[in-house]
Copies of this chain bind each other. A is one copy, B any other.
Amino acid sequence: MRNTYLFLIAFLATAPVWGQPPAGSRPASNIPGAEYPRVHDDLRVTFQLRAPDARKVQVRLGQTYDMMRSEDGTWSVTTPPLVPGFHYYQLIVDGVSMNDPGSHAFYGTSKDASGIEVPEKGVDYYSYKDVPHGEVRIRPYLSKITGQWRRCFVYTPPDYDSNAKTRYPVLYLQHGSGEDETGWTFQGRANIILDNLIAAKKAVPMIIVMDNGYASRPGAAAPDTVVAGRGASGGASAFEDVIVKDLIPLIDSTYRTIADREHRAMAGLSMGGNQTCQVTMRNLDKFAYIGAFSGTMNGLNISPLDPATAFNGLFQDGAALNKKIRLFWIGMGTSEPNPFPGAIGAFRAMLDKAGVRYVYFESPGTAHEWLTWRRDLNDFAPRLFR
């Protein structure tokens, strides 16, 4: 009954036998040995699944594509050219959404979902290169706030272990809705991006702490995550307390950090951008650098914001904020869907009205997706701790 070995044999015996793969294409970032999905030279992608008894098989990657059945029960479809970068996707078999056995799963969309990497020609800032590499360290901790075991991923730069006296600044870097502490490493490749930036002397060596954006106080019915649209007036969320009371003390006592606001940054994507604004603006004694990637303090709310009243007036004194905040960085993809352009636009208009300085970055041709956020990090990280 619990026989992994026989299970494996059974799996192999029923594994799909694919036909001859199309020329000018190669396996994507797949499970070892899997021939599909395949990316073509022109970035079309062919998906394939063996499902002789299914009546309908589709691929959902943003839009939904019907797959065609061949006589032997193998279904396949080739999409139009896809935008480069990382995309979540699902196969749909007789109405049931499932992972593609040919692809690795990544925690996103509130489950372990299939992901595909579409190559970006001439771009290598998020690819492994023969440069010194840092580490991503999986660190468990018992949260005083939630009463539960949590886990953070901690990037330490290439020279961390050999420069035993050097202390480093810290970037707290948060994922988006339905993702977790693994996202910035496995989907975002934050460690590879930083290795390359540091090797090119474009960014200063830093520690990056990637935690889980969901947190609940004991007995709470649902996670308390500083979600979209929540103001700053409601007291600290469980997540804010995890960052401020659990994580910063843990990181500063465990790693060789420079433990002051001038050497502490926070950034996040989507929900994580919202959380970043909330946590940093309520704790400017602890953070001097702020990065909001495709998500700002107003969440999904596109209504105009008056700095005199919005967020309890946190933004009303632009001159004072400009003295305190070393960098306020906002980024967005040019193909982001509603409500992101409107919401981020409303937040920027408020900052403009208040005279708060910020850097605004646009990722050309990308939507609410990981390539936007890789580009964000690649632009944001070099500006930190200068």
> Which A positions have Cβ atoms within 8 angstroms of B?
1-8, 10-12, 14-15, 31-33, 49-55, 60-63, 82-83, 85, 87-88, 93-99, 101-105, 107-112, 128, 130, 133, 135-142, 149, 154, 161, 164, 176-178, 185, 191-192, 214, 223, 254-255, 270, 335, 337, 340, 366-370
**Among B5, B51, B270, B368, contact of A94 (Cβ-Cβ < 8 Å):** B51
In the complex, the answer to whether B83 meets A2 with C-beta atoms within 8 Å is yes
Contact with A7, one of B11, B49, B60, B133 (Cβ below 8 angstroms): B60
Partner among B4, B93, B101, B135 whose Cβ is within 8 Å of the Cβ of A137: B135
CA distance A87 to B108 in the complex (A): 23
State whether B87 touches A2 (Cβ < 8 A): yes
Closest Cβ of chain B to A23, distance in Å, is 19
Complex Cα spacing A257 to B113, Å: 38
| Cβ B54 vs Cβ A96 within 8 A | yes
| Beta-carbon contact of A99 and B82 below 8 Å | no
Known interface pairs A133-B140, A135-B137, A139-B133; A112-B31 also in contact (CB < 8 Å): yes
Q: Which of B3, B49, B83, B149 contacts A128 (CB 8 A)?
A: B149
* Whole-angstrom distance between the Cβ of A146 and the nearest chain B Cβ: 12
Q: Which residues of B contact A12 (CB under 8 A)?
A: 110
Query: Which residues of B sit under 8 angstroms from A11, Cβ to Cβ?
Result: 97, 109-111, 178
A361 CB → nearest B CB, Å: 19
Is A137 touching B137 in the complex (CB atoms < 8 A)?
Answer: yes
In whole angstroms, what is the CA distance A385 to B218 when docked?
A: 42
Contacts of A104 in B (CB 8 A): 107, 112
Residues of B within 8 A of A6 (CB): 62, 337, 368
A376 to B185, CA, bound (A): 31
Return the chain B residue nearest A365 by Cβ.
B2
**Chain B residue with minimal CB distance to A137?**
B135
Among B55, B82, B192, B367, contact of A4 (Cβ-Cβ < 8 Å):
B367
CB-defined contacts of A136 to chain B, threshold 8 Å? 137-138
Instruction: List 9 A-B pairs, minimum CB-CB distance, nearest first.
Output: A1-B62, A98-B98, A53-B95, A105-B112, A5-B368, A105-B105, A135-B137, A136-B138, A128-B149
**Which chain B residue shows the least CB distance to A337?**
B3
A319 to chain B, nearest CB (A): 35
